[in-house]
């Protein structure tokens, strides 16, 4: 594959990437991209990108790209979908989807979960296709509850709601009335037409109002992956391809596919046995935090840890004064040799909860 080299500042990661990866500069996003990171002091970070720094770059970039202020919205159920309809966001959304597609193409995982309706549209749900009411759950649980109530409530309750075939939308503080059908604001919702109202309401919120953005999403997707390939998978399977499996973390399996570096004595080997015993006693939440600390994603790969790219490694550090650290871009845990199990447990818990970054210097 062709290679492209880019330099990005951590303080302006998204903006630098947006400029450096314009289609006229990098016409083929399937080409190999190598990254030079510049830290907050303006100095080039140590390390030659053999693929690991690009992986870190993608992770950090997606965290920025999926910030709600940039056009994506994080819902209460922790699933992403596009919220804004501003046309000047199109190219940025295309770029964001290119990055997500790159994760799939490279076989990498990120801590991302997308709403089911969003994935269905992204994967090519044909225009005009009837969308199921249950998809609203991943958009807005309260709206789903209200529409379910409307579906079964009495004739008197419907009349008291005083609904018509229009909706009020709020686009960044600007309130607009949108008619769900011709002259919809003049048509009252009744027991006889409520199912039509619910279907039009669902299709508007999950499809029609997002159609310009969905076109931009598909454009970004085509830069990296053939959309026909994605149609072989369900929304749940696509979500797992990007963000890993929701199954319990099997640290015995992870141990099997982990390489330990810098073992100098039998004591070091015994210490590694202690490490696996300690983390197997972690709560489910702390196990996920530890996995995210090392790999950047709290969930295991869909096909198990044997497919983790690159394979997980542990580097023993013969210095008890340091905290555990991670080179997440290489799936590498740097583990000091502490004196006892309690100190090891306490230091690991502290490290995985402190949210440390992963500069290579």
What is the end-to-end Cα distance of the chain in Å, rounded?
29
The answer to whether 329 is a known catalytic residue is yes
CA gap 184, 7 in Å, rounded: 53
Catalytic residue among 153, 297, 329, 354: 329
Token pair 């072989």 in the structure block, residue? 232
Rounded to whole angstroms, how far apart are CA atoms 184 and 81?
A: 27
DSSP per-residue codes, 295-342: HS-SS--TT-GGG-SSPPEEEEES-TTSPPEEEGGGTEEEEE--SSHH
SS3 of 49, please? Answer: coil
Q: Give me the DSSP letters along 143-165.
A: HHHHHHHHHH--HHHHHHHT-BS
Which DSSP string do the residues of 229-284 spell out, in sequence order?
HHTTS-HHHHHHHHH---SPP-HHHHHHT-EEE---SHHHHHHHHHHHHHHHTS-H
Residue 183 — left, alpha, or beta (φ > 0 → left; ψ -120 to 50 → alpha)?
left
Residues with catalytic roles: 329
């Amino acid at each position: 594959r062709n290679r492209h080299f880019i330099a990005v500042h951590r303080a302006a990661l998204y903006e630098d990437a947006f400029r450096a990866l314009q289609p006229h500069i990098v016409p083929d996003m399937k080409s190999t991209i190598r990254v030079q990171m510049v830290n907050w002091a303006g100095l080039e970070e140590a390390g030659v990108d053999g693929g690991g720094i690009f992986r870190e770059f993608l992770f950090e970039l997606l965290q920025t790209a999926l910030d709600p202020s940039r056009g994506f919205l994080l819902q209460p159920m922790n699933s992403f979908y596009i919220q804004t309809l501003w046309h000047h966001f199109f190219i940025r959304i295309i770029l964001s989807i290119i990055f997500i597609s790159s994760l799939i193409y490279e076989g990498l995982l990120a801590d991302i979960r997308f709403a089911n309706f969003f994935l269905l549209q992204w994967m090519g749900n044909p225009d005009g296709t009837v969308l199921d009411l249950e998809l609203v759950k991943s958009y807005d649980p309260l709206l789903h509850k209200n529409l379910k109530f409307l579906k079964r409530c009495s004739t008197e309750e419907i009349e008291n709601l005083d609904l018509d075939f229009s909706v009020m939308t709020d686009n960044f503080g600007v309130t607009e009335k949108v008619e769900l059908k011709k002259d919809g604001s003049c048509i009252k919702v009744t027991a006889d037409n409520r199912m039509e109202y619910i279907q039009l309401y669902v299709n508007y919120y999950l499809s029609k109002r997002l159609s310009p953005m969905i076109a931009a999403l598909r454009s970004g997707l085509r830069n990296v992956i053939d959309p026909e390939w994605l149609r072989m998978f369900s929304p749940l399977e696509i979500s797992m391809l990007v963000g890993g499996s929701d199954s319990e973390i099997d640290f015995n399996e992870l141990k099997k596919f982990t390489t330990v570096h810098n073992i100098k004595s039998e004591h070091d080997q015994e210490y590694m046995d202690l490490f696996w015993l300690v983390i197997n006693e972690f709560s489910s939440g702390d196990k996920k935090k530890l996995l995210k600390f090392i790999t950047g994603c709290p969930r295991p790969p869909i096909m198990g840890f044997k497919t983790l790219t690159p394979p997980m490694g542990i580097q023993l550090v013969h210095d008890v004064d340091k905290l555990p650290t991670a080179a997440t871009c290489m799936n590498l845990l740097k583990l000091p040799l502490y004196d006892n199990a309690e100190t090891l447990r306490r230091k690991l818990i502290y490290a995985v909860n402190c949210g440390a970054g992963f500069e290579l210097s």
